[in-house]
Chains A and B, each alone.
Chain A
Amino acid sequence: MTLSERMYLPAIAQGLGITIKHFFKKKATINYPEETRQRSEIWRGLHVLKRDENGAERCTACGLCAVACPAEAITMTAGERKKGEEHLYREEKYAVTYEVNMLRCIFCGLCEEACPKAAIFLQDDKLAPARYERDEFIYGKDRLVEPLKTTETK
């Protein structure tokens, strides 16, 4: 090695130059809760049970999604629509309970494909959030059904 190489000082200065360049570089961090990463349009996130244009639930509790589910995460009980509930449920048969176990779900999207009524979708902007208790991961209709559009109450 030459004298300048054996002194290591030029190499150290070079190294310091590299680190100071990174010091002023734009940071790669995404501050998660405040900003989220831009997701793909076909991202499969948290499930939603859709309503039709009149605000009635589309799901008819046929069970095809539960059959299609490879992780057996979906359970439901069907019920018959009573008179006067036409504005709530679109079909004569509807899901009284509809549960998705988010610990089992693998977010494959097969339920979405199996649904003949276009009722269940995996959203592209929401994730199943972390929770402390196991039973909190079983999402019922209260958390799955799309909320009514507030424009109707105007």
Chain B
Amino acid sequence: MDSVLLIYKGIYILAIFGISLLIATYSTYFERKIAAFIQDRVGPNRAGPMGLLQPLADAGKLFFKEEFIPAKANKTLFILGPGIAMLVAAMSSAVIPFGDTLIIGETSFDLIAIDVNIGILYIFGVVSLGVYGLMIGGWASNNKFSLLGAIRAASQNISYELAMGLSLIAVLMLSGSLSLKVIAEQQTGFNWNIWYQPLGFLIFLICAFAETNRTPFDLPESEAELIGGYHTEYSSMKLGMYLFAEYINIFVVSAVMATLYFGAYNFPFMENLRNAFDDPVLGNNVVTIIGVGVMFAKIFAFIFFFMWVRWTLPRFRYDQLMKLGWNILIPLAILNILLTGGGILLYEYFTKG
């Protein structure tokens, strides 16, 4: 019994790892496709049908490029930087519930790699470690522009993590749990957190853009001002790892937003569908499988939104970025906590009193 679960967990973790890598790979393709479509072009269409093999061509190209390490760079840290960025990005998808439970025979399989009771804290901790990847890489390059980019990345991530955490607290007040699985289970059917936390979601969304260094907050790698920011000196697959880590981060943050605010694997009328089957096990499995599809649809919708915004909005100026983070988002997040608290008190007063 235990060994079955252990093997299942191993396979599941590998599958999730593979899926997040695959999605990150194809994010590069869809980024270019979406960029092209928005600019009235057709985008990559030479490698394979509709250019679907383009990510493979890109990866092949990156592998065969020269591995350049600047003469005065700190070699160990220079190699460590993209490694940390990649490792941390790939680690964070472990606690995301991609689906409910599958029941096969007498065993029920949770579609979540590790169900820890501090899931959301784990994600926050791991994602904020990602800054070390950028910071170490920028520092080790021994280059002013890289260092500037790295410092920007660090200060931006720290500033926006505050507002992100504060907006999250309102969700946690509603759910009463830090476990992403519990938060997901509470949003059954159409009872999604977005209806209770529109302001919180907005703050979280803006912070998510800043955390993943996406436009309009892509100041760490603003090519016009800093050449390439922290990855100026990087070439070959080390550069690829940085870019890849960014796309995995987008995937993870999309999954987190879908879980926290858009009901994870829950979809409207899921209970009706579950009850429509005579066999409860079959009903449960069908709902779970559709739920996984729904979860990924939500994640893809968010990834699309990330790209859509990237090709719409210009970049912030650095002082505007800091002003938005500290002067607007953090007070708004605190206000949101107060409003949520008031709402919960009122609700309890009217339902219990």
A31 at interface (Cβ–Cβ under 8 A)? Answer: yes
Query: What is the 8 Å Cβ interface bit string for chain B, positions 19-60, against chain A (1 contact, 0 not)?
Result: 000000000000000100111111001000000000000000
Residues in chain B near residue A132, CB distance under 8 A: none
Residue of B whose beta carbon sits closest to that of A25: B40
B326 at interface (Cβ–Cβ under 8 A)? Answer: no
CB within 8 Å of B: which residues of A?
Answer: 9, 12, 15-16, 18-20, 22-25, 27-29, 31
Residues in chain A near residue B309, CB distance under 8 A: 16
Q: Name the residue in B34, B40, B312 with the highest tally of chain A Cβ atoms < 10 Å from its Cβ.
A: B312
B17 at interface (Cβ–Cβ under 8 A)? Answer: no
Is B312 touching A29 in the complex (CB atoms < 8 A)? no
CB within 8 Å of A: which residues of B?
Answer: 34, 37-42, 45, 202, 308-309, 311-313
CA distance A147 to B42 in the complex (A): 37
The 29 sampled A-B contact pairs (Cβ below 8 Å) are A9-B202, A12-B312, A12-B313, A15-B312, A15-B313, A16-B308, A16-B309, A18-B312, A19-B38, A19-B308, A19-B312, A20-B38, A20-B308, A22-B37, A22-B38, A22-B40, A23-B38, A23-B308, A24-B37, A25-B40, A27-B37, A27-B40, A27-B42, A28-B40, A28-B41, A29-B41, A29-B42, A31-B42, A31-B45
CA distance A26 to B39 in the complex (A): 11
Residues in chain A near residue B45, CB distance under 8 A: 31
Is A16 touching B312 in the complex (CB atoms < 8 A)? yes
Q: How many A-B contacts if CB must be within 8 Å? A: 36
Residue of B whose beta carbon sits closest to that of A30: B42
CA distance A26 to B202 in the complex (A): 32
Q: For chain A, what secondary structure do more than half of its interface residues adopt (helix, strand, loop), or is it mixed?
A: helix
CA distance A29 to B319 in the complex (A): 39
Residue of A whose beta carbon sits closest to that of B46: A31
Shortest distance between the CB of A49 and any CB in chain B (Å) = 36
CA distance A27 to B309 in the complex (A): 20
CA distance A2 to B39 in the complex (A): 32
Residues in chain B near residue A9, CB distance under 8 A: 202
Shortest distance between the CB of B200 and any CB in chain A (Å) = 15
CA distance A105 to B328 in the complex (A): 65
Residues in chain A near residue B39, CB distance under 8 A: 22
